[in-house]
């Protein structure tokens, strides 16, 4: 378990949901602890997610959370749709706020958070420059992002700096085009080593073998929870509130929320 940040105390319970990739993450964080259910998505998340949500609620002895944070994509089209739909429906049913987090931001932060939680902190090598993530998006393309990592003298200062770092992402693209855009010292993580390596043309494989590319672990739901808390704090500072269920939209391809285009946009 990643250590809870003292900067983001919360006296409210929060339900965390992510079904955008090859796993299903559900967790309930509350003042006296947490309950987590994480598993590989070998079956449809539509069948498994309701059961996992019910299990974390029953184990925590809570009837409902105070708010929800959900990963909104990009990722699996079906997984994104299911996770966001459940989050929207539950937020509407319970009449509670819901916060959406970019999936690639979540995965990048999770890798950095895990590093901050290790006994070897502070580290002046991996991944002090930052981290990049590539997700297989089929058709020999990836959803990809990079985030800068700046370490300070304490874990708490480092967590604050992570919250302010810019997320660089460039939508749906080929793996080799993304790898050319980021510095070689940035370690790269992926959900499917074989598929992504095989999607790179043979004459461009040298760009793959020059890099440090590793298989992702299943991300920890606490990283998504902390990002949700950061988002809430940012909105509070700007006199905003976490959005209602209507504002939560899935993010499918090219980092564009799925919403109807205006007529003049469709017609060009």
**3-class SS of residue 114:** helix
Q: How far apart are CA 194 and CA 166, in angstroms?
A: 29
Q: How far apart are CA 30 and CA 27, in angstroms?
A: 10
Q: Does 51 have pLDDT greater than 70?
A: yes
Q: Hey, what domains does the chain have and what are their CATH numbers?
A: 14-102+219-254 (3.30.420.40), 104-215 (no CATH)
Q: How far apart are CA 183 and CA 198, in angstroms?
A: 22
The stretches of the chain forming alpha helices (DSSP H) are 45-60, 77-94, 103-116, 155-164, 175-181, 193-198, 206-209, 221-237, 263-266
Q: Does 177 have pLDDT greater than 50?
A: yes
pLDDT (tens digit per residue) in 8-49? 346 899 999 999 998 999 999 998 899 999 998 766 788 899
Q: What is the mean pLDDT of residues 63-82?
A: 94
Q: How confident is the model at residue 198 (pLDDT cuts 50, 70, 90)?
A: confident
The label of the residue with tokens 């029953």 reads: 58
Q: How far apart are CA 207 and CA 247, in angstroms?
A: 40
Q: How far apart are CA 38 and CA 208, in angstroms?
A: 30
**DSSP 8-state class, residue 143:** E
What is the predicted pLDDT for the residue at 27?
97
The least confident of 35-44, 106-115, 124-133, 183-192 is: 124-133
Length of the chain, in residues? 268
The least confident of 3-17, 112-126, 214-228 is: 112-126
Who wins on pLDDT, 93 or 243?
Answer: 93
Q: Does 57 have pLDDT greater than 90?
A: yes
The least confident of 64-68, 71-75, 161-165, 256-260 is: 256-260
pLDDT (tens digit per residue) in 129-149? 788 999 998 888 999 998 876
β partners of residue 148: 130
The least confident of 61-75, 138-152, 161-175 is: 161-175
């Amino acid at each position: 378990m990643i250590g809870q940040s003292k900067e983001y105390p919360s006296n409210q319970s929060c339900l965390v949901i992510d079904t955008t990739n090859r796993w299903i993450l559900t967790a309930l964080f509350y003042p006296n602890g947490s309950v987590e259910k994480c598993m590989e998505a070998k079956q449809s998340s539509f069948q498994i997610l309701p059961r996992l949500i019910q299990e974390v609620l029953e184990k925590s002895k809570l009837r409902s959370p105070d708010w929800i944070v959900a990963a909104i994509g990009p990722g699996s089209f079906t997984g994104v749709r299911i996770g966001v739909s459940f989050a929207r429906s539950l937020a509407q049913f319970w009449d509670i706020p819901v916060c959406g987090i970019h999936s690639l931001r979540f995965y990048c932060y999770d890798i950095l958070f895990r590093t901050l939680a290790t006994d070897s902190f502070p580290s002046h090598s991996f991944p002090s420059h930052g981290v990049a993530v590539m997700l297989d998006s089929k058709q020999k393309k990836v959803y990809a992002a990079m985030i800068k990592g700046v370490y300070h003298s304490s874990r708490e200062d480092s967590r604050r700096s992570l919250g302010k770092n810019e997320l660089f992402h460039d939508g749906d693209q080929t793996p080799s085009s993304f790898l050319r855009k980021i510095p070689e010292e940035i370690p790269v993580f992926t959900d499917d080593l074989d598929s992504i390596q095989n999607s790179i043309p043979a004459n461009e494989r040298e760009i793959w073998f020059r890099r440090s590319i590793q298989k992702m672990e299943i991300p920890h739901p606490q990283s998504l929870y902390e990002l949700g808390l950061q988002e809430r704090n940012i909105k509070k500072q700007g006199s905003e509130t976490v959005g209602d269920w209507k504002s939560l939209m899935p993010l499918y391809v090219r980092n564009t929320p799925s919403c109807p285009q205006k007529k003049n946009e469709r017609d060009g």
